[in-house]
Amino acid sequence: MDEYEKEVATERRMKDEFMARHPESPFVAETVVGFRGLRYYPIDEQFRVRATLKRLDLPREAFLRTNRDGESTMRFLGELEFTLVRRKLHLRIYHAGEGVGLAAFVPFRDGTSGQETYGPGRYLTLDLNETDEYELDFNRAFNPYCAYTDAYECAFPPAENDLPVPVRAGEMVWSVDRNPRTPNTVVIDMVEKARARTAASRASPPSVKRAPAARPPGPKSPAKGRRTATRPVKRGASRSSRSRR
C-alpha cells in the first residue's frame, strides 16, 4: 500500500470512528441502529483525476432540490472539466455562501446510483484556489446524511451533474433498504410518509383532559385577625387551599 492509499484508508477509519461514537454523527444523534462501518469501493487511482474550473464571469444563484421537496440556495461558480475512463466530462461546482470559507461543493450522480451507491447522489468537496486547477478524487466521494436517516435535509445534484459513466470509487450505499433509485423516488417516499402521519393523527381520538382530584378543605382560620402564611404554597394550589390563621 503506497502513501496515498494509506492516507485514504486512514481517513475512512477515522470517519467510521466518528460515525460510531461522536454525538454529531447521524447514527448517534438519531439513534440509527445497525452501524458496523461505512461501505467503500477499493481504492482505485484511476478515479483520481486533474480538473480545470471554467468559471462564470460572475457567480449565479442556484436552487438545488432537496429530499424534502424544498430548495437549497447555492452560488453556481462554473464547471469542472476533466477526463475519466477516457471520456471528457464536466461537473457543476457550487459554493454554499458565508460560513463555509473556501470550501466548494460538487454533488453528482453516475452509473452506479440507485444500485451500488446512494440513488439521489454523492458529494465531493474541495477548497477553491486562484489557479482553478484541482484534483478530483472520487475515492473520497461520500454520502449525504440523508442516506442514513430521514432526519436530515440534503441537496440533490442538478441534472447537469449526472455522469454517463459508472464511478466505482468512494462510498457505497450504506443500506440496501435505504436506497431510493432516484431523487424523485426519495421525495415521493417522504411525501407519502408525511401523508401517513397526518392520516394517523386525524384517526386517533382526541385526548381528554381529566379534572384534578378535589382536595379536602384546609382547616378553618380562627376568628381573630388573619396572618400571612409562613409555609410556602405549592404551585398550582388554589387560593382557598392556603392555610390561614
Q: Where are the domains of the chain?
A: 48-192
Which pLDDT value is given to residue 13? Answer: 97
Q: Please tell me which residue, 245 or 38, carries the higher pLDDT value.
A: 38
Mean pLDDT (the chain) is: 84
Q: How confident is the model at residue 195 (pLDDT cuts 50, 70, 90)?
A: confident
- Backbone φ/ψ region at 200: left (φ over 0), alpha (ψ -120 to 50), beta: alpha
Of 46-50, 146-150, 209-213, the range with the highest mean pLDDT is 46-50
Looking at residue 240, its pLDDT comes to 40
Q: Give pLDDT tens digits for 67-99.
A: 998 999 999 999 999 999 999 999 999 998 888
Nearest to 219 by CA among 229, 232, 210: 229
Cα separation, 170 vs 176, in Å, equals 17
pLDDT at 16: 97
Give the three-state DSSP class for 236.
Answer: coil
And the C-alpha cell for 205?
381520538
What's the pLDDT score for residue 155? Answer: 95
Q: Which of 47-56, 91-100, 165-174 has the lowest mean pLDDT?
A: 91-100
pLDDT-derived band at 26 (thresholds 50, 70, 90) equals very high
Give the per-residue pLDDT at 1.
Answer: 76
Cα 226 to Cα 222: distance, rounded to the nearest angstrom = 8
